[in-house]
Amino acid sequence: MLVCVLTATVLLGGECLAKTGNYLSPVSVVADGDERVLYVAEATADQVAVFDIAPGEVTGTIPVADNPTGLAISADHSKLYVTSAVPAGRVQVIDIRRGNVSDSIAVGHTPVAVVASPDGETLYVCNQFDNSIGVVELGSKTQTAKIAVTREPVAAALTSDARFLFVANHLPAGAANGDYAAAVVSVIDTAARKVIKNIELPNGSTNLRGITISPDGKNAYVTHILARYQFPTAYLEQGWVNTNAMTIIDVPGRKFVNTVLLDDVDLGAANPYGIVCTADGKNILITHAGTHELSVIDRAGLHRRLLPARTARTFRSEICSTVGTKHHDASYSADDVPNDLTFLTGLRRRVGLAGNGPRGLTVIGTKVYAAEYFTDSIGLVDINSDIRHRAKSVPLGEEKALTKARMGEMFFHDASHSFQKWHSCASCHSGGGRACALNWDLLNDGMLNPKNTKSLLLSHKTPPAMITGVRANAETAVRSGIRYIQFSSPWVQHARAMDEYLKSLEPIASPYLVSGKLSTAAKNGEKLYSRAGCVRCHGGTLYTNMGKYDVGTGTGEDVHREFDTPTLVEVWRTAPYLHDGRAATIRELLTEFNKDDRHGKTSDLSEKEIADLAEYVLTL
């Protein structure tokens, strides 16, 4: 079955992507009940591919609407559940025997992942921009509840008894100018339908992507970036800016165990993404979307090394006997582990994949299948085979020439162009050129004055670039980012292609709209927006006059510094706010941090009027 060439835009886990060139963009993959067939969600082709494992080829496709991303198979293997990651999100139900969509269930804003309960009665859906887990009752085919989580749920894993759902929240929530900023894993009691605990990850944890629970039910494993955001970005060696990590959680105790780094001392393993365990529980498998690799981790060895009762001498002896005395600078306490680039030495193998941009994966026996996004392929690795003949890539369709925007998207996510592969542009600008919710000291406007990461949406239309306007335009900023953030030479081809990719990004409709329209409160807020004078600086279709102003929020070297007026388009997803991320909410920006009414005359507004104004701003 062929799909016609389309020119449109879709969302992929919050990313706005150009559907030009008829790319497939596989993002997730699951196996059927007898493990003979794979189902592959092809996000920009609006279809699910049916991949026959034995001959290693696509035998058919199932058309589905609106950007398929997450996949789950029912316990009886008769149904395939597919999330459509768009504002008016849906879960589409595929009858596997008939090979077509039999039902479509309305859920929340941008559902990106789905988990099916073992009893076949319930689905749990990660509604990314509703900041909620949707509970779908399959009997009535309706979403009957929304469980609020902290921020942008993108993956979830259910315990075998279905009592608890562990949810990976993509980004940190709250202000960014304090001593701690990190995303959390939410634990949901499925019977009570509420979050009973948020498990804090180490400081700097952001860009959570995947989560899985071990077959024995003892541990959950989460992939994420561990950013060293409190240091100036002076160099990249030894993970000075970004490291790439996996956090281990005690499932019965519902508590944090530790975080281990997936990098090597002189080689980053950028953008860890999908994660699964082998059925026998022996190995943990992780795709690295930025370095196009698979990590194979000895699970039992990992937990032996993490045992809290061992002495420093025992731990040191184990490391030395395993890898030689030159690696004796290993961790001596649990607190050292998240900073130890040698911790997994001898326990982890890095396998290079043949395709580009691996994301979701599944494992059958010792064979791993990964969705390779940019090469429209399935990566295949037998983790027991000889390393020299291990990985291959099987195309899911005909090879398509890369448009300049598609090439730029690929470069934007590719860490192989940065020094020692520590990170890509997408490491800090996740979700399609948006932001990681952290502050960074980029050295382009002095030292010891970190600034909050900006979204790159509309950056080419709203010069100057950077919060202080230190770059004249986005083109200059792209090239400076390649040179001073990736520590690489800015190839003209790469830079121009990334310009085109960023120009292709489109805003996503706000979850604060009601059926696409302003609520009553937001309509009142729209009037207050003019009355308070917000429109003077944030007017027009781009909601910015592109000027620079001292708004009274500068401190230290930034006292009296003028800051660029940002666009308010899609401001609902760019918290925290102000140059240093001190305002966790728009309300705080309008009140607590609006010195002398420099961010609009709000001091004379009532509490209700402030709430209405904030409601309107969040719809933009």
Contact 78, 95 (CB under 8 A): yes
**pLDDT one-digit tens code per residue, 108-162:** 999 999 999 999 999 999 999 999 999 999 999 999 999 999 999 999 999 999 9
Q: Report cis status (omega within 30 of 0) of the bond before 576.
A: yes
Task: Give mean pLDDT, residues 228-253.
Answer: 97
Angle ∠(240,243,249) on CA atoms, nearest 5:
140
**pLDDT one-digit tens code per residue, 524-560:** 999 999 999 999 999 999 999 999 999 999 988 889 9
**pLDDT one-digit tens code per residue, 434-483:** 999 999 999 999 899 999 999 999 999 999 999 999 999 999 999 999 99
User: Which two structure tokens, joined as six digits, stand for 406?
Assistant: 């598609």
**pLDDT one-digit tens code per residue, 190-240:** 999 999 999 999 999 999 999 999 999 999 999 999 999 999 999 999 999
Q: How confident is the model at residue 395 (pLDDT cuts 50, 70, 90)?
A: very high
Residue with tokens 């990004």: 505
- pLDDT score at 308: 65
- pLDDT score at 14: 55
Task: Give mean pLDDT, residues 94-103.
Answer: 96
From 478, 479, 484, select the one nearest 444 (Cα to Cα).
484
Q: For the range 455-461, what are the long-range contacts, defined as Cβ-Cβ under 8 Å and sequence gap of 24 or more?
A: 455/429, 455/570, 455/573, 455/574, 456/429, 456/502, 456/505, 457/433, 457/505, 457/507, 457/567, 457/569, 457/570, 458/505, 458/507, 458/542, 458/567, 458/569, 459/433, 459/502, 460/499, 460/502, 460/503, 461/542
Query: Which percentage of the chain shows pLDDT scores above 90?
Result: 90
| Order of all β-strands in the sheet with 377-382 | 358-364, 367-372, 377-382, 391-395
Rounded CA gap, 175 and 295, in Å? 33
Task: Give mean pLDDT, residues 26-36.
Answer: 96
Rounded CA gap, 111 and 117, in Å? 17
* Predicted confidence (pLDDT) at residue 322 exceeds the cutoff of 80: no
Of 182-186, 287-291, 317-321, which gets the smallest average pLDDT?
317-321
Residue with tokens 């130890």: 340
Rounded CA gap, 304 and 310, in Å? 9
Angle ∠(97,101,106) on CA atoms, nearest 5:
135
- Strand segments, DSSP code E, in 262-400 are 272-277, 283-288, 293-298, 348-352, 358-364, 367-372, 377-382, 391-395
- pLDDT score at 225: 98
| Order of all β-strands in the sheet with 348-352 | 272-277, 283-288, 293-298, 348-352
Question: What is the average pLDDT value for the chain, to the nearest integer?
Answer: 93
- pLDDT score at 15: 56
Task: Give mean pLDDT, residues 258-263.
Answer: 98
Q: Report cis status (omega within 30 of 0) of the bond before 464.
A: yes
* Predicted confidence (pLDDT) at residue 11 exceeds the cutoff of 80: no
| Residue 125 one-letter amino acid | V
**pLDDT one-digit tens code per residue, 481-517:** 999 999 999 889 999 999 999 999 999 999 999 999 9
Taking CA atoms, 497 is separated from 59, 328, 407, 491, 541, in Å, by 34, 44, 6, 10, 26
DSSP count for the chain of H helices, then E strands: 11, 35
Taking residue 400's Cβ as centre, other Cβ atoms within 10 Å add up to 14
Rounded CA gap, 475 and 494, in Å? 12
Task: Give mean pLDDT, residues 80-87.
Answer: 98
Rounded CA gap, 28 and 111, in Å? 14
**pLDDT one-digit tens code per residue, 555-605:** 888 899 999 999 999 999 999 999 999 999 999 999 999 999 999 999 999
- pLDDT score at 550: 94
- pLDDT score at 183: 98
* Predicted confidence (pLDDT) at residue 55 exceeds the cutoff of 80: yes
DSSP 8-state secondary structure symbol assigned to residue 532: T
Residues of the chain by 3-state class (helix, strand, coil), percent to 5: 20, 35, 45
User: Which two structure tokens, joined as six digits, stand for 430?
Assistant: 């996740």
* Predicted confidence (pLDDT) at residue 387 exceeds the cutoff of 80: no
Considering the entire predicted model, what is its pTM? Answer: 0.94
Taking residue 83's Cβ as centre, other Cβ atoms within 10 Å add up to 32
- pLDDT score at 309: 37
Torsion from C-alpha of 318, 320, 324, 328, nearest 10 degrees: 140
Domains of the chain: 9-16+26-380 (2.130.10.10), 407-504 (1.10.760.10), 520-617 (1.10.760.10)
User: Which two structure tokens, joined as six digits, stand for 378?
Assistant: 């399935």
The continuous run of DSSP H or E covering 481 comes out as: helix 474-484
* Predicted confidence (pLDDT) at residue 5 exceeds the cutoff of 60: no
Surface-to-core class of residue 103, CB atoms within 10 Å of its CB (0-12 exposed, 13-18 middle, 19+ buried)? middle
Residue with tokens 């804003």: 109
Residue with tokens 């990098």: 263
- pLDDT score at 388: 58
DSSP 8-state secondary structure symbol assigned to residue 274: E
- pLDDT score at 286: 98
- pLDDT score at 12: 52
Task: Give mean pLDDT, residues 267-286.
Answer: 98
State the pairing for strand pair 211-213/205-206: unpaired
